[in-house]
Copies of this chain bind each other. A is one copy, B any other.
Amino acid sequence: MSEKKYAIGVDFGSESGRAVLVDVSNGQEVATAIHPYSNGVIDEKLPGTQIRLAPDWALQDPNDYLEVFKNTIPAVVKKGGIDPADVIGIGIDFTACTMLPTKKDGTPLCFLPEWRSNPHSWIKLWKHHAAQPEANKLNKTAREKGFDFLDRYGGKISSEWFFPKVWQILDEAPNVYAAADRFLEAADWVVWQLTGVETRNNTTAGYKAIWSKRQGFPPNEFFKALDPRMENVIEEKMSTDIDFIGQKAGGLTDEAAQWTGLKPGTAVAIANVDAHVAVPASTVTDVGSMVIIMGTSNCHMVLGKEEKVVPGMCGYVDEGILPGFFGYEAGQSCVGDHFAWFVENCVPAAYTEEAKDRGVDIHKLLEERAARLKPGESGLLALDWWNGNRSVLVDVDLTGLLIGQTLATKPEEIYRALIEATAYGTRVIVDAFEKHGVAVNEIVATGGLPDRNKLLMQIYADVTGKEVKIAASQQTPALGSAMFGAVAAGKANGGYDSIYEASKKMAHLRDERFAPRPEAQAVYNRLFKEYLVLHDYFGRGGNDVMKRLKALRAEIIES
């Protein structure tokens, strides 16, 4: 044992798990290891069978998560060249809502031979979208019966969330529903496997399972209204004991110590969500800063001291991001995905060849050319709805729009228009927060995009009028989990007594900042006005042509 203490953060993604070994004193990321899930995203056939899944299904295998622990934790300890006894805590974060049915002792139903061939016994990944009918019925019932919890979720519960998924199991496999002693988030399940202690974190409960600190879960009469068989789902299949993030779930069991090579009893934190755990890892522990995780989509998080209803956000949860704050979340469904779509479908051969000849990435080439344009120079304007609109319209049936093309329009101009469109989309969200009393004074960006695309950062600054800072870590979720691991260990064991202290020491920003440029801001203010008019015309019922085109498309494809 040395004086240096370490924490490990394990970040569970859709395709793989990642462990990062972090120096508790300064947040230095000493070693990283990634383990891809053997069964990945299960969306065609149930593994080892010929059982086909319907198009909107997406499952996972819980065993893959255990393999992540067994492979990555020994790997980072070894790579880091450290004494495993110096690892004082572990934290995990997960995609959500990713949920499964288990027996009372935590055994997943899909591990049991009698249930293994029933797809409903497996894990439903966040992007399992087959519970849309249940989500629709749930929203309708909640509205009709006057349950006010929809207000906390921008007016609508998504098919990705907890109870639509539970209800789908009941609808389609009542025997699986009956056999399940528990429904729980995979996040809590992996913590259970490490510690032997069943916990339920308040973050996924709050954002995905309609729980709130003040009101708890919806009352039984609500579930009865959905389906009489679900009346007592909370008492029968859930737990009303909710554990708050920042707490310790337990210590590593002997078995888990053996899997990981760490000391039995090593502190394990209450489970958390990938996006939320990135907030303190991006140095944000107070009101006024919006953290945006920018990847294929954008996730916006802000802390608030008071409870505010912001129409169209994804949700807010008391203590959902950090203790002592309301955690507000909003989202854009399509950001990096826009650019990936554009590169795959719209970039001419001449550009691809130039990029190849010069040995640069095609995104880099497009960014380079787009950066030479001034705001307003392209004459183009886009609505960033290729994948629907999450915040603030909450409408998956909206689609894309590009306006202003001429025969002189070049690919880099369209590329820039798409970047600008996502920035306008973020400004709509920022403005909604500010209008409803949640302060946003600056933006801290993290995720895959900020690192790669400076133009994007500058445009976000110019469009929103907020300074944009960038988190130093390129893996803020894993770093954040390690920070929560250090907090679970506590100061007495070489860690921290609060996530605030941990963030102060372990989280950092890059030196590079992007300040709004007044001249660009002036032009973007004009363009944003135009964006808003189109946003409301096509998004708020002025002309529902997007929905009609989408419905016609579905009609034609099905005919």
Which residues in A have some Cβ–Cβ distance to B below 8 Å? 334, 337, 341, 344-349, 352-353, 374-381, 386-387, 399-407, 409-411, 523, 526-527, 530, 533-534, 537-538, 543, 545-546, 548-550, 552-553, 555-557
Contacts and interface: CB of A to CB of B under 8 A. Distances in A.
Contacts of A553: 376-379, 404
Given A347-B349, A377-B553, A341 B545 contact: no
Given A345-B409, A401-B401, A537-B537, 7 more contacts: A347-B349, A401-B404, A404-B550, A404-B553, A523-B552, A527-B552, A537-B543
B403 A379 contact: no
Contacts of A375: 556
B386 A406 contact: yes
Contacts of A527: 549, 552
Enumerate the 8 nearest inter-chain pairs by beta-carbon distance, A residue then B residue, closest first.
Answer: A400-B405, A379-B553, A349-B352, A349-B349, A376-B556, A404-B549, A376-B552, A377-B556
Nearest to A548: B530
A325 B546 CA distance: 44
Contacts of A400: 402-406, 409
A349 B353 contact: yes
B402 A402 contact: yes
Contacts of A347: 348-349
Contact of A546 (B346, B403, B407, B550): B403
A371 to B, nearest CB: 15
Contacts of A403: 399-402, 538, 545-546, 549
Contacts of A410: 345
Nearest to A555: B376
Given A399-B403, A543-B533, A379 B550 contact: yes
A347 B351 CA distance: 11
Integer count of this chain's copies in the complex: 2
A401 B399 contact: no
Nearest to A338: B407
Nearest to A340: B407
Most buried by B among A345, A538, A545, A550: A345
Contact of A346 (B341, B346, B352, B552): B346
A523 B549 CA distance: 11
A534 B199 CA distance: 54
A492 B10 CA distance: 98
A402 B375 CA distance: 21
Query: Which residue among A379, A386, A543 has the maximum number of chain B CB atoms within 10 Å of its CB?
Result: A379
A337 B407 contact: yes
Contacts of A352: 348-349
Contacts of A399: 379, 403-406
